[in-house]
Amino acid sequence: MNNIKSISIIILISAFLMNCDGKKQGNEEGHSEHETQSKNIEIELNQGEKWVVNEEMKPFLKQSEEILQSYNASNDSSHLELADQLKAQNDQLISSCTMKGKSHDELHKWLHPHLQLVKKLQEAESKKEAEAVIQQLEDSYEIYHQYFQ
């Protein structure tokens, strides 16, 4: 079972590396259940410091977080519109990725589960289900700020 998990993690990281090289592959479609569970991967700090995210990627991260905050402040009930807006920002984030090395790898430990949450929001069938995912997205941004600058 550990071998399957290890292989899934390697496949996941490889898929993200290809995405960041500009070969978009429909984002997260077609990934196995083991890859979806990769959110259990621990993000590491950079020798106790936050990782630096490339400047060209930051606007998309900031904008998506602002979209979520605006949604929450307005008490809007259209979670599908929110999901579409977040997905659009994520698509631009992925296409702007120029990061390499350990900082890139650590960002993807955060990004993959985050993308899965947006997908889950798109698939939410009730307001209650959407609210639970929105809370998870808020938590995801908190994690991002703990590890990245």
Asked if 96 and 83 count as a contact pair (C-beta separation under 8 A), the reply is no
First to last CA, the chain: 35
Average pLDDT of the residues in 9-17: 44
Q: What are the residues whose beta carbons fall under 8 Å from the beta carbon of 85, sequence distance 6 or more?
A: 64, 67
Q: pLDDT tens across 71-122, in order?
A: 999 876 689 999 999 999 999 999 999 899 999 999 999 999 999 999 999 9
Burial class (CB in 10 A: 0-12, 13-18, 19+), 130: buried
Give per-residue burial for 86-100: e unless 16+ CB within 10 Å, then b. Answer: bbebbeebbebbebe
The Cα–Cα gap between 149 and 103 comes to 11
